[in-house]
């Protein structure tokens, strides 16, 4: 997977892209990153990338010319994504679909946003949540991380992503490690039993319980077995 990142602040990405999972993904040849400074595509001597909005209003708006020129400079035909709070929020399922692509271009907006005409030059718009950031760079890092861990060869253990929260429309079960007892809180005995079937059953039930408590809306689209539904019914009776 190749990521083209169109930004006014390429330095924001340096430390994150050179650490942990993303660095290992590059070392393994599964990921590559192309930092594109939008300012390099301006045509005036002051390298201006923004201007005041027509019709008045607060703040500045990113100009269309340098963004479009930067997009058109990219080799191949990457899937072009605009980071904006006005779009649909990224989901695990959409991240999984995007991970199947060979290259993606991420356009990081700034200030009050980008000129509306830029939208004609992208394939998709993505939001990372119902809140406002100072720029698209942090949002782009979220998108990169969510997609990259689903690209084959990035994670050391390919099964890790399959067990994550939202992977099956359920929140992930609780995790424990050593020591077996910490300040009076013990690891559940089933996890120390060596009974793999019992561990799998416990984890499934814990995922169901946590999802019911925290994100019950996810249960409407989860793939639930008759046993899952019976367990949830028991929990609801207990709460009632």
Active site residue 149: yes
**Per-residue pLDDT tens digits for 19-74:** 889 999 999 999 999 999 999 999 999 999 999 999 999 899 999 999 999 999 99
- SS3 state at 182: strand
pLDDT of residue 156: 76
Tell whether 141 and 205 lie within a shared domain.
no
Range of the domain at 101: 2-148
Decide: pTM greater than 0.85.
yes
Active site residue 164: yes
Tell whether 122 and 207 lie within a shared domain.
no
Q: How many domains does the chain have?
A: 2
Predicted confidence band of residue 162 (pLDDT cuts 50, 70, 90):
low
Active site residue 174: no
| Residue 185 lies inside a defined structural domain of this protein | yes
| Residue 105 clears pLDDT 80, i.e. is over it | yes
**Three-class SS string for 184-230?**
CEECCHHHHCCCHHHHHHHHHHHHHHHHHHHCHHHHHHCCCCHHHHH
Tell whether 29 and 54 lie within a shared domain.
yes
| Residue 11 lies inside a defined structural domain of this protein | yes
Q: Per the structure block, which two tokens stand in for 186?
A: 């013990």
Active site residue 93: no
| Residue 153 lies inside a defined structural domain of this protein | no
Tell whether 93 and 22 lie within a shared domain.
yes
Tell whether 6 and 94 lie within a shared domain.
yes
- Report yes or no: 155 and 149 within 8 Å, Cβ to Cβ: yes
Q: Are strands 79-83 and 61-62 parallel, antiparallel or unpaired?
A: unpaired
**Per-residue pLDDT tens digits for 110-149:** 988 999 999 999 999 999 999 999 999 999 999 999 999 9
Q: Which of 65, 112, 145, 172 is catalytic?
A: 112
| Residue 155 lies inside a defined structural domain of this protein | no
Predicted confidence band of residue 158 (pLDDT cuts 50, 70, 90):
low
| Residue 83 lies inside a defined structural domain of this protein | yes
């Amino acid at each position: 997977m190749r990521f083209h990142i169109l930004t006014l602040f390429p330095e924001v990405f340096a430390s994150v892209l050179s650490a942990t999972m993303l660095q290992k993904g590059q070392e393994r040849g599964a990921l590559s990153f192309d930092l594109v400074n939008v300012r390099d595509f301006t045509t005036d001597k002051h390298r201006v990338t923004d201007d005041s909005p027509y019709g008045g209003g607060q703040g500045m708006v990113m100009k269309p010319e340098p963004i479009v020129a930067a997009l058109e400079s990219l080799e191949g035909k990457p899937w072009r994504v605009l980071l904006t709070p006005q779009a649909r929020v990224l989901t695990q399922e959409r991240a999984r679909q995007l991970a199947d692509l060979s290259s993606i271009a991420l356009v990081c907006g700034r200030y009050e946003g980008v000129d509306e005409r830029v939208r004609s030059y992208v394939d998709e718009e993505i939001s990372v949540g119902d809140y406002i950031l100072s720029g698209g760079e942090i949002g782009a890092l979220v998108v990169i991380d969510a997609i990259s861990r689903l690209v084959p060869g990035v994670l050391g253990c390919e099964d890790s992503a399959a067990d994550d929260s939202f992977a099956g429309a359920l929140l992930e079960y609780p995790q424990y490690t050593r020591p077996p007892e910490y300040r009076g809180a013990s690891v559940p005995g089933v996890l120390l039993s060596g009974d793999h079937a019992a561990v799998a059953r416990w984890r499934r039930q814990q995922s169901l319980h946590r999802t019911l408590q925290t994100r019950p809306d996810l249960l409407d689209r989860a793939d639930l077995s008759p046993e899952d539904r019976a367990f949830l019914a028991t929990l609801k009776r207990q709460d009632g």
